[in-house]
Structure formats: structure tokens, C-alpha cells
Amino acid sequence: MTKGMKQRIIEQAAPDLEKIEIALEHHLNPNVELVRQIASHLLFSGGKRLRPLLMVHSARLCGYNNDFEIEFSIIFEYLHAATLLHDDVVDEADIRRGKKAAHTKWSAPKVVLTGDFLMALSLDIAAKTREPDIISVIAKITRDMSQGEIDQLSKKGKLNLSEEEYRKIIERKTAVLIQGTCQSGAILAKAPKEKETALSQYGFHLGMAFQMADDLLDYTASAKELGKNPGADLREGKLTLPLIHSLSNASQKDKEWMQDAIAATLFNPDQFKKLKEKLYTYKGIEYTKDRARDHVKKAKACLNDFDDCQSKQLLCLIADYSIERKV
């Protein structure tokens, strides 16, 4: 079923996806070669182009019928890539999208500066929309994400993270960007305020579901599926909902064992397997799946007032896919 869902999305989106790739390459071309190399390393390593698709179809759903939605949709792919480059330096993660993270191939300063450069590209295209509200959205995204990352850095290794704190973290880490992307599609189409809000809310819930699914995959997927070893969050001292919920349900003895395991941050495969079992026993996996499903349901409900059309179908399909995917 999942594979079918992914294929249906790709089939429907194929002509757009092709144009999106061309636009992404086109804007990188006339620049310093090293910058192009570092940016390309991340940009063309199998990203799903989720954000461009979301902006294109949010705009079309609101009746946008000029020819620039593809060009403008890459605003948020560049912005996303910029934040990933900075995050990789911040997190010192070694693997991104199954490839070595940029900062393991180039020095951290060069990666930071390439992030700034992609931010500039994003802005340059955003300015061409002539919509200052889209700039405000980008500013809000950047502000929330940078503050969120700093906040998360301070909370690294915190063993008693609450579900509310977790929600705030993933909202700023993932949801605000997807939310802003969908909202910007509506702004581009000069949609009435209630449609802009509906698409913004759709994006928010989709982003929350998407990140919860990601956090689940870090425990449930195989290394091959993930393109990196599972358990990465834990090794980086990041507690996510499956664990947070399980900790709150666990017996005192199991809770202490889990906390010790987390504090140790180094796991052998047996320990990781045992920890995973606890996440099933104490229903952390199930609970997180349920919460992600809630968000998918809410995301789709936000689209209720829009007329049925291909874009609406695709946005619903993307919402369903966000929690069914294996990568």
C-alpha cells in the first residue's frame, strides 16, 4: 500500500518535479565553483522535493494561474537546504540523506557560508514574488528555527523532557517551515485570509506528523531504509516522543534502566534492541503513531472547504504518505 501511495504521488507530480530539478540547478550555476559543489552535494542527494510540491499545489488550490509557481516553489527548498547545512554543523551529524554530511567533506566554516549563500538565493527569488508577506513568513521561519535549535542545544541530554517541550521543539524544527511553505503558496495566489489560514494550518499539522514519523523511523526502520544507523537521535542526546511517552509509563526499574542507557549515549546493538522492546512494551511507538495520525486527520480536515481538484487530492495523499513512508 505504501509503495502505491508513493508511486501515485510521483506519477501525479512527475512533470512538476522535473521542472523543479531544472530550476534548482539553474539558480546554482553562475556562482563560485566551490559554493556550487557544497550546495549540490546536499541539494542533489535524493531530497523528496516535498516543499516545492507543497507550495505549487497550495498556490494552485487557491486558483493561482500564472506560470511562476515552479520558479517560486524552490524558495523553500533552498531555505530548507540552508537550514540543513547549518544544522549539520550544529549537530555534528556525520550522515545526511545516506551520504556523508557536507561538513565531513568540507570545513565547517565553508558549510556555514554555503548555508548563508543558499539563504540568499532563497531570498532573491522570494523578492521576485513582490509579496512582502512571503518575506515575513521566511523571517518567521528563520527566527523560529534558529531559536529552536539553540533551545534544543540547551536541552541536549535532558532526561525529563515533557511531551509539551517535545512538541515545541518539532514545531520549530520542522512544522514552521512546512507551514510557511503552504501559506506562501496561498499568498502567491492572493487567496483570501481564511484560505491562507487553512493552508497554513494544513502545513503545520503535516509538519508535525512528518516529524513524528521521522522520529518513529529512527527506532523502527533498518539502517538500509534510513540511509544511516537507527538510534541517531538518542546518540545525539535528543529525546523524542516514543521514548518520552515510554518513560512516563515505565516501571521505576525500567525507567531507571532506560535513563541510564540514554545517559550512556553509547549503545551496542543488543542494548538498542532491548530499548526498542521497551518502547513497544510501554506503548511509546503506538502512542506516537496515534498522535501522528491525529495530525494527519487535522491536516486533511483543513482542506475541507476547498473544491475537489487534483491539487487537493495530492495534498491529501501527501498527508497520508507522511506517516506511512519507510524513509
Q: What are the residues binding its own copies (CB under 8 A)?
A: 31-32, 34-35, 86, 89-90, 107-110, 112-114, 116-117, 119-121, 123-124, 126-133, 135-136, 138-143, 145-147, 149-151, 153-154
- Report the distance separating Cα 71 and Cα 313, nearest Å: 22
Cβ nearer to its own copies, comparing 32 with 264? 32
Q: Quote the least distance from Cβ 107 to its own copies, whole Å.
A: 8
Cβ nearer to its own copies, comparing 65 with 154? 154
CA dihedral 72, 91, 45, 295 (to 10 degrees): -60
Cβ nearer to its own copies, comparing 17 with 82? 82
> How big is the chain by its Cα radius of gyration, in Å?
20
Q: Quote the least distance from Cβ 284 to its own copies, whole Å.
A: 28
Q: Quote the least distance from Cβ 49 to its own copies, whole Å.
A: 22
Cβ nearer to its own copies, comparing 115 with 230? 115
Q: Tell me whether residue 266 is exposed, middle or buried, using C-beta atoms within 10 angstroms of its C-beta: 0 to 12, 13 to 18, 19 or more.
A: exposed
Q: Quote the least distance from Cβ 264 to its own copies, whole Å.
A: 23
Q: Helix, strand or coil for residue 99?
A: strand
- Least Cα distance to 213 among 87, 299, 152, 141 occurs for 299
Q: Quote the least distance from Cβ 222 to its own copies, whole Å.
A: 30
Cβ nearer to its own copies, comparing 133 with 165? 133
H or E element at residue 100: strand 99-100
Cβ nearer to its own copies, comparing 150 with 223? 150
- Report the distance separating Cα 111 and Cα 158, nearest Å: 28
Q: Helix, strand or coil for residue 96?
A: strand
CA distances to 110, 200, 212 from 207, in Å: 29, 10, 9
Cβ nearer to its own copies, comparing 3 with 128? 128
- Report the distance separating Cα 46 and Cα 40, nearest Å: 11
- Report the distance separating Cα 34 and Cα 57, nearest Å: 34
- Report the distance separating Cα 78 and Cα 272, nearest Å: 35
Q: Quote the least distance from Cβ 129 to its own copies, whole Å.
A: 8
Q: Quote the least distance from Cβ 30 to its own copies, whole Å.
A: 11
